[in-house]
Structure 1
Amino acid sequence: MMVEVAPVSEAVLVEPVVQTCKSALICIAACNQEELQHFTGFLQMKAYSPSTIKTYRNEFAQLLQKLGEIPVQELKPGDLRRYFLYCVQQGLSENTLHSRINALKFYFEQVLGREKFFFEVPRPKKPVQLPKVVSKEDIAAIIRAITNLKHRTMIMLAYGCGLRVSEITGLQAGDIDGKRRLLWVKRGKGKKDRVVSLSPALLVMLREYYKQYKPALYLFEGGVAGSRYSVRSLEAIIQAAKERAGVRAAGSMHMLRHSFATHLLDKGTDVVLIQKLLGHGNIKTTLRYLHVTNKDLLHILSPIEDIKELL
């Protein structure tokens, strides 16, 4: 027999929670702590990446803290709509809102098996942002500003092969095929493998690096032998190099990947080939770079040029 659950009070979902406890888990009622553990275990069984599990867990915990003693299983679509409206009113960004919606959608539809539970929950429109790209001259200036061989090799690989920062730190010595001038990127985003070409300049740099550092497992080891290099440390390296090189453009390590794709387009490389090199599952993701390439824009003269003699 179905038990009718009374609607959750709107005040419960929109009343801010005072963060007075040392651990976020302590702020969650015992009944919902069990659901949080169940949720995390389900994500692990589905083999989601550690970063996705961390994001989803944190977003789910935000709701559980608001609920107090109300079991999360009792929520209905109307309760969630009020909760997301509260999140919007608190100034959460569109990207954060999408992450929170994705996390809760996974819980209700995947963990609890409530099909189309989010059918009535609208999603905020994401802003259309262009990739952050810098010129070839700025890339060269950044690389010149790095004197440490390991750091320079990582930055050159990021730009020269269009790698994500996690792909660089996850590279192993056996992923390089020097004879065929290939680099194997294993279990990239979406757990997909791909192969990218290594230029002669990168091969020379990698051989010099390998001869000096002799890595055991990971190509770029951290402070402890056998451990992978820290993503946070690599992000700090690019920011410090930009500052020394006088490059003021905003952007993190991912800027090098964006620049790799854009500079290939500038040279006339086919967009489908660039899609394969980047490991994009959808061509639409790669087509974003068409908005920042100067390949065609350089041939377009502004109408101001037609009247400059009259000014």
Structure 2
Amino acid sequence: MKWKAELIEHRNVKRIGIWFEKNPELIQKIKKFNDAKWSSTLGVWHLPDNAENRLKFKIDAIPEKVLVADKLKHLNDFTTYLRTKRYSESTIKTYTEALKSFFIFYNHKSVDSINNEDVVCYYEHHIIKNNLSSSYQNQIVNAIKLYFKTLQNPALDINRVYRPKREKVLPNVLSKTEIKQILSAHRNIKHNTMLSLIYSCGLRRSELLNLKPGDIDSKRGLILIRQAKGKKDRMVPLSSKILGMLREYYRLYKPATWLFEGQQTGRPYDERSLASVLKQALKKAGIKKDVSLHWLRHSYATHLLENGTDLRYIQEILGHNSSKTTEIYTHVSAKSLQSIKSPFDDL
């Protein structure tokens, strides 16, 4: 197995990033490591930073890369700019980590002298060489363009910083039977309610964790999603069945500030703990697929479409800016595909 290992920081936790040639056999090998995870944000598989993994991947022989002082100041200034523009914390982290990777590659070169040829060189000798995803490259482009636009660097023409051709990947969708198995796996009402609410309303993980009790409008049968992706508020329909679950959950737990709180009162439930809740449900249900929380949202949208819901309403419920984003669900709707008769049947 040919690999490259480096210490990284993912969601404020030290991890070991593993880069390797993309193929199914190597992916299966990396999955066998305890707590191995794929980060779509960073475009890398990562493992716990412990003595066993450091020894296995010779991590001690690879020094952690640190930015030189002037670039660290530029990076901190960029972070401050993003905060003043009211970008979300997740977007700020994504952009700063992407720009940090680019800066580290040119640690020897002053920021003011970086030009378009340097960007192309970075693509070739870092992103392509390490077989990083086009989505990660796209994040690099976003960070570079936004940073150098605000810096007004004369050596780099941001209009000539090109984007990679995006991969066309279909959303992962579970059957209604699989959804039912997952949502009925937990006896703990809190765990069951969280997973059920994500599916029943098509919520993103962050949207669920940012809910407050007052966001549930039981009389109108709606949930207010505040300042979601793109800094937009939206309303989503609330089923009577999930409303009953929420009432029972509220009676037992009596959350103070957030609808779903962690062990400490007044603190939102941890996103890693939520991922663990899903992982436990999959194990109990006997589902072997590498399901993420976002699969529940994809499945909700696809099942709405299969039930005959208009795409425009689905777009509004999911909070998509463009109808093209929502139209991808037409490609995975089993009902639509199964209605197509093959000419082979007429032979």
TM-score for both structures, normalised by structure 1: 0.87
Question: 1:42 — aligned with what?
Answer: 81
Q: Which amino acid aligns with 1:91?
A: N
What is the CA distance between 1:218 and its match in structure 2?
Answer: 0.1
Where 2:174 maps in the other structure, the secondary structure is coil
Q: Which amino acid aligns with 2:63?
A: T
What is the CA distance between 1:116 and its match in structure 2?
Answer: 8.2
Question: 2:48 — aligned with what?
Answer: none
Q: Which amino acid aligns with 1:234?
A: L
What is the CA distance between 1:66 and its match in structure 2?
Answer: 2.3
Distance 2:94 2:147 in 1: 13
Gaps of 5+ in 2: 1-60
* Mapping of residues 1-311 of structure 1, within 5 Å: 19-21=62-64, 24=65, 27-86=66-125, 87-112=127-152, 117-307=157-347
Where 1:187 maps in the other structure, the secondary structure is strand
Q: What per-residue deviation string (whole Å, max 9, x for no partner) do you get for residues 123-177 of structure 1?
A: 2111100010001111001111111100100111101000001000110010011
More strand by share: 2
Q: What per-residue deviation string (whole Å, max 9, x for no partner) do you get for residues 275-298 of structure 1?
A: 111111111110010001123222
Distance 1:174 1:106 in 2: 36
Greater relative CO (CA pairs within 8 A, separation 6+): 1
| Contact residue 218 and residue 243 of structure 2 kept, 8 A | yes
More helix by share: 1
| TM-aligned CA distance change 1:119 to 1:19, over 3 Å | farther
What is the CA distance between 1:19 and its match in structure 2?
Answer: 4.6
| Contact residue 59 and residue 99 of structure 1 kept, 8 A | yes
Where 1:295 maps in the other structure, the secondary structure is helix
Where 2:303 maps in the other structure, the secondary structure is helix
Distance 1:115 1:294 in 2: 51
User: How many equivalent residue pairs?
Assistant: 286
Distance 1:243 1:226 in 2: 30
Q: Which amino acid aligns with 1:119?
A: N
Distance 1:63 1:88 in 2: 14
| Contact residue 31 and residue 69 of structure 1 kept, 8 A | no
Distance 1:185 1:40 in 2: 26
Where 1:186 maps in the other structure, the secondary structure is strand
Distance 1:115 1:78 in 2: 10
Higher mean displacement: 49-58 or 158-167: 49-58
| Contact residue 132 and residue 250 of structure 1 kept, 8 A | no
What is the CA distance between 1:37 and its match in structure 2?
Answer: 1.2
Q: Which amino acid aligns with 1:260?
A: Y
What is the CA distance between 1:112 and its match in structure 2?
Answer: 2.9
TM-score for both structures, normalised by structure 2: 0.79
| Contact residue 234 and residue 317 of structure 2 kept, 8 A | yes
Gaps of 5+ in 1: 1-17
Whichever of the two has the greater Rg, that structure is 1
Where 2:103 maps in the other structure, the secondary structure is helix
Where 1:196 maps in the other structure, the secondary structure is strand
Q: What is the root-mean-square deviation of aligned Cα atoms in Å? A: 1.7
Question: 1:3 — aligned with what?
Answer: none
